[in-house]
Amino acid sequence: MAKYQSDVRALLEYIGGKENIRAVTHCMTRMRFVLVDPAKADTAKIEGIPAVKGTFTQAGQFQVIIGNDVAVFYNEFTAYAGIEGVSKDAVKAAAKSNQSLVQRVVGTLGEIFAPIIPALICGGLILGFRNVIGEINLFAGGTQSLADVSQFWAGVYSFLWLIGEAVFHMLPVGIVWSITRKMGTTQILGIVLGLTLVSPQLLNGFSVATATEIPVWDFGFAQVQMIGYQGQVISAMLAGFVLVYLEKFFKRICPEMISMIVVPFCSLVPAVIIAHTVVGPIGWKIGDAIAAVVYMGLTSNVKWLFAALFGFFYAPIVMTGLHHMTNAIDTQLVNLYEGTILWPMIALSNIAQGSAVLAMSVLQKKNERAQQVNIPACISCYLGVTEPALFGVNMKYGFPLVCGMTGSAVAAVISIGTGVEAYSIGVGGLPGILSIKPQFWLSFLVAMAAAIVIPFALTYVIGKKKLPQDTAAKPLPQAEPEEVKEFAAPVSGKIIPLEEIPDQVFSQGVLGMGVGIQPTGNQVVAPADGNITALMEDSGHACGLALDNGVELLVHVGMDTVDMAGKGFQVHVKEGQRVKRGDLLITFDPQAIQEAGHPTTTAFVVTETAGKNFRYLSGMEAQAGQTAVIREE
């Protein structure tokens, strides 16, 4: 008899029937559907199926989270439904047809900016720190700064500009590199093109507005202005795509034997010419126009309305992925106006959603299972990462999301009304104050108070009425006192908290609690003695282990690495094999994962606790098979 017979029947019914399934496959933990009409899928009923741990939609795929037993479930489902599964690539290709042009553009934009954001955040913090020590006059009766009265701090102030300049003035280099990385073309050509946009031979882009004379290249029949594109976002993006499509074109038509010589030359030289004569000037004008419109809205007579709408709708915008567009707008505002009044509202929205989760945590303080999601989601939200809170808590219950949006709108109006301005994009959430110009700290603190108090109070009051009384009275089963056990890190690297894993299924603890690992090694070893119960032999990116005491573990190398179809992975064990702690399970190529555009972050979670409680250790460097990162309490 089939193990999941009733669950399979229910899933087929609630997903809209066989006729609503365009394609289906599975990875290590999830069924991945491309649906004809996603609206026909009844997510509430699907999530009520016993075998289902959750659902979400990403990149045109409707994903149903099953866990380690997904292969068995998948086989039973396809057999019962009378459909054939397809390859991961086929599902991915089919999923694109479910995405609108806007979704595809926004998705691409997000993938371009994702590798750059850490540098932008770091640069914003550095600029904020520089201005604290060099621009705020706290000494000599308010006439001198710390840098004025101390040679050491004067040196620090000067030295830190080295990094600030590299981040913001040389930003086009990072953007063009990221585009070539995303599009799978030659990354060093992207770096070279980016460098030609910020060459010291050119008039610095930040000096164009005040320059009395702009130098030119004189070709006799034509002249081209020697203008640099320091800090320009759209110009760099347009130049990057010109290079990408030129390279793809010449690769397609050029014989293999001479492609190494012809393709780079015929791609790079025309791309540089087009960048400086056509798309660069066009991008500059577009960027200025977008920033000017946003700035006008935020400084007009109805700026409070603009702020209220932005503050209210920013959280839903995050859920659609459209929020990536604000990175380009923020950067353009910084370049034009030496600061941004948009970013503070984004930080306040993070705080507001975190405060709604905090209220849910108080309401569900006796529900340990809910707290496993609430507490990490609240912490990450207050630190600027809202997805765990949005998808794991607020959207699930509905009213906390709206309460957070309401508080965010009020906080945004306060921020705009008092003229709060940030140096640049910075850390979101509570640490966002570090990127705010010091003269606006008090105003921002008032806005922060609104973003904390209003969502918390609204969520708490409404939750008292809406939440069933028994939701706060279901503690997890307690384990009998046993000998303390520990599980070693399966991969060498830095151990990070679960909520920092860049995947909502893992970060929300849907599959179980655990840790993330930023790998420094390339081997996956057994974290404890046990049996291999699940193995993705075709892709090699994940495996599951069952221990003798009933505990089950999952190791998942990289995020979305199932799309790589095994490239860069080698499996050294078989399903059902007995392994000991430290035995080699998988080897992988971190560079191949990065080149495929995926995070290398590895998830290590306890998918079945067998009634036991565990402590999860993070913030340290671990050696594979040696350093304990999960301990039984």
Tell me the catalytic residues.
27
**Residue 146 and residue 134 in contact, taking contact as beta carbons nearer than 8 Å:** yes
Structure tokens at 188: 């060093």
Residue 19's CB is within 10 A of a number of other CB atoms, namely 9
- Edge-to-edge strands, sheet with 493-497: 578-579, 530-535, 542-546, 552-556, 602-608, 514-519, 493-497, 621-622
Residue 86 and residue 565 in contact, taking contact as beta carbons nearer than 8 Å: no
Tokens 């790589």 belong to residue: 564
Contact 134, 147 (CB under 8 A): yes
DSSP assigned state of 394: I
What's the rounded Cα separation, in Å, for the pair 596 and 563? 9
Distance CA 494, CA 464 (A): 41
For residues 253 and 163, give the distance between their C-alpha atoms in angstroms, rounded to a whole number: 42
Burial class (CB in 10 A: 0-12, 13-18, 19+), 340: buried
Tokens at 554, concatenated:
């999952």
- Please state, in angstroms and rounded to a whole number, the distance separating the CA atoms of residues 30 and 67: 7
Structural contact between residues 571 and 537, judged by C-beta atoms closer than 8 angstroms: yes
Do residues 399 and 459 touch, judged by C-beta distance below 8 A?
A: yes
- Provide the 8-state DSSP code for 491: S
Please list the helix, strand and coil fractions of the chain in percent, rounded to the nearest 5, in that order. Answer: 55, 15, 30
Residue type, 272: V
CA-wise closest residue to 183 among 273, 269, 248, 101: 248
Interacting residues of 397 by C-beta distance below 8 A, sequence separation 6+: 360, 463, 466, 467
CA distance 344 to 440: 10
Q: H or E segment at 117?
A: helix 117-134
